[in-house]
Amino acid sequence: MHIHNNYPLGDLNTFGIRVFAREFARVSSEEDLYPLMDHPAIRHGRHLVLGGGSNMLFTDDFDGVVIQMATTGKQVTGEEDGKVFLEVKAGESWDGLVAYCVDRGWGGLENLSLIPGQVGASPIQNIGAYGVELREYFHSLTALDKRSRERSTFTAADCRFGYRNSFFKQEGKDRYIILSVTYRLDTRPVIRTRYGQLADELAKTGNALPTISDVRQAVCRIRRSKLPDPEVLGNAGSFFKNPVVSTNFFRQLKERHPGVIAYPEGDRMKLAAGWLIEHAGWKGYRQGDAGVHDKQALVLVNHGKATGKEMLQLASAIRQSVYEKYNITLQPEVNIIN
């Protein structure tokens, strides 16, 4: 393993922000991590563990060590009562994993198709889409404690999953490096198609009994129709979380804005942040190379040479605008790396 100096990160973040890491190391095996733990920047300084770079915005060069996880491998660790347990290394492609599971008839992750990034980041963010969240099919993970150098196993309860949130974004932030994740998948899949857009897309096919492969294909069609390919147009997917509000607040909001879109979230309501942003006038907006996607207002895009600071300024302006119009404060889903 070699540590590189002044390493370009433009191709390692999906926004395509042109920044540099003071030092950079690519980890292809767990054994590579242990020598890195003695690095001064990891013991006492600044460092960042990078997966696919799909959920972050760099606002400047990174004055520290960037560690990219490139470990790969999958193995079935057990089967019981219609379930299969699959352990996957942190550096595996997330969508590659979904395709792998669907090809074998293992259900659960198909609604999460085409989400960019790597497996190791999936529990940190508790990724979700089209009516499914990762925690529903999560079994456990192994992580390296950077302080003690010990490997630990985390159950779902240990991870404290919330909406796009987990222990690893809160108390455990910057302390652990996720090594592998084990998923609990269905060998007799339950098809999850109640989410509006997905149900509508499947209805177009006239197939009354869709398979998990049909669901994956439908999700991919939806995402490709409204979300830009990061290889073509820099973006990190949904920039903001969908805000969750009380039913009383939602009723009052709907009286003022009858078209507002929302979905039940327990005894509360989850608002469509994209709708709020679009109807605040931002859809398709562009200032220099920083802009808002013209098909999905929840996605901020880099048209070429926008800086991280310019993207963040745009996000701040959108937040202020939405607050003034709806009295709702949007929270970023993307991690801001200052």
Q: Can you give the three-state secondary structure of 160-182, one letter per residue?
A: CCECCECHHHCCCCCCEEEEEEE
* Bridging pattern class, strands 290-292 and 138-145: unpaired
Please give the pLDDT value at position 194: 86
138 assigned to some structural domain = yes
Q: What is the pLDDT of residues 147-203, one digit of tens each?
A: 888 999 999 999 999 999 999 999 999 899 999 999 999 999 999 998 888 999 999
Instruction: Using the CB atoms, write b or e for 32-63: b if 16+ within 10 Å.
Output: bbeebeebebbeeeebbbbbbbbbbbbbeebe
Q: Which long-range contacts (CB under 8 A, 24 or more apart) does 98-103 make?
A: 98/216, 99/216, 100/74, 101/183, 101/185, 102/212, 102/213, 102/216
| Same domain? 78 vs 58 | no
In this predicted structure, the answer to whether residue 243 has a pLDDT above a threshold of 90 is yes
In this predicted structure, the answer to whether residue 236 has a pLDDT above a threshold of 80 is yes
229 assigned to some structural domain = no
266 — alpha (psi -120 to 50), left (phi > 0) or beta? left
In this predicted structure, the answer to whether residue 41 has a pLDDT above a threshold of 80 is no
| Same domain? 61 vs 78 | no
| Same domain? 94 vs 167 | yes
226 assigned to some structural domain = no
| Same domain? 138 vs 104 | yes
**Rounded to whole angstroms, how far apart are CA atoms 111 and 193?**
9
| Same domain? 86 vs 173 | yes
Please give the pLDDT value at position 235: 97
What CATH number is associated with residue 270?
3.90.78.10
The domain in which residue 39 lies consists of 3-69
What CATH number is associated with residue 10?
3.30.43.10
Q: What is the pLDDT of residues 56-100, one digit of tens each?
A: 999 999 999 999 999 999 999 999 999 999 999 999 999 999 999
Per-residue pLDDT, averaged over 258-265, amounts to 93
**Rounded to whole angstroms, how far apart are CA atoms 162 and 294?**
30
Query: Catalytic residue numbers?
Result: 164, 238, 333
Strand-pairing partners, residue 291, are 286, 301
Please give the pLDDT value at position 2: 86
**Rounded to whole angstroms, how far apart are CA atoms 186 and 107?**
5
- Tokens (6 digits) for 223: 């995402």
In this predicted structure, the answer to whether residue 208 has a pLDDT above a threshold of 90 is no
Instruction: Please give the mean pLDDT across all residues of the chain.
Output: 95
Please give the pLDDT value at position 182: 98
| Structural domain ending residue among the three candidates 45, 69, 93 | 69
| Same domain? 26 vs 125 | no
| Same domain? 52 vs 78 | no
| Same domain? 170 vs 84 | yes
In this predicted structure, the answer to whether residue 126 has a pLDDT above a threshold of 80 is yes
**Rounded to whole angstroms, how far apart are CA atoms 1 and 174?**
22
| Structural domain ending residue among the three candidates 54, 69, 84 | 69
Share of residues in the chain with pLDDT > 70 (%): 100
- Tokens (6 digits) for 255: 């009286």
| Same domain? 49 vs 79 | no
Q: Which residue has the tokens 């929302």?
A: 262
| Same domain? 82 vs 180 | yes
294 assigned to some structural domain = yes
| Same domain? 254 vs 278 | yes
321 assigned to some structural domain = yes
- Tokens (6 digits) for 269: 């309501």
Complete DSSP assignment for 55-69: SEEE-S-EEEEEEEE
What CATH number is associated with residue 158?
3.30.465.10
214 assigned to some structural domain = no
The separation between CA 247 and the C-alpha centre of its own chain, rounded to angstroms, equals 27
| Same domain? 51 vs 81 | no
Please give the pLDDT value at position 44: 74
User: What pTM was estimated for this model as a whole?
Assistant: 0.88
Of 290, 295, 293, nearest in space to 316 by CA: 290
201 assigned to some structural domain = no
**Rounded to whole angstroms, how far apart are CA atoms 51 and 116?**
10
Share of residues in the chain with pLDDT > 90 (%): 87
7 assigned to some structural domain = yes
**Number of domains, the chain:** 3
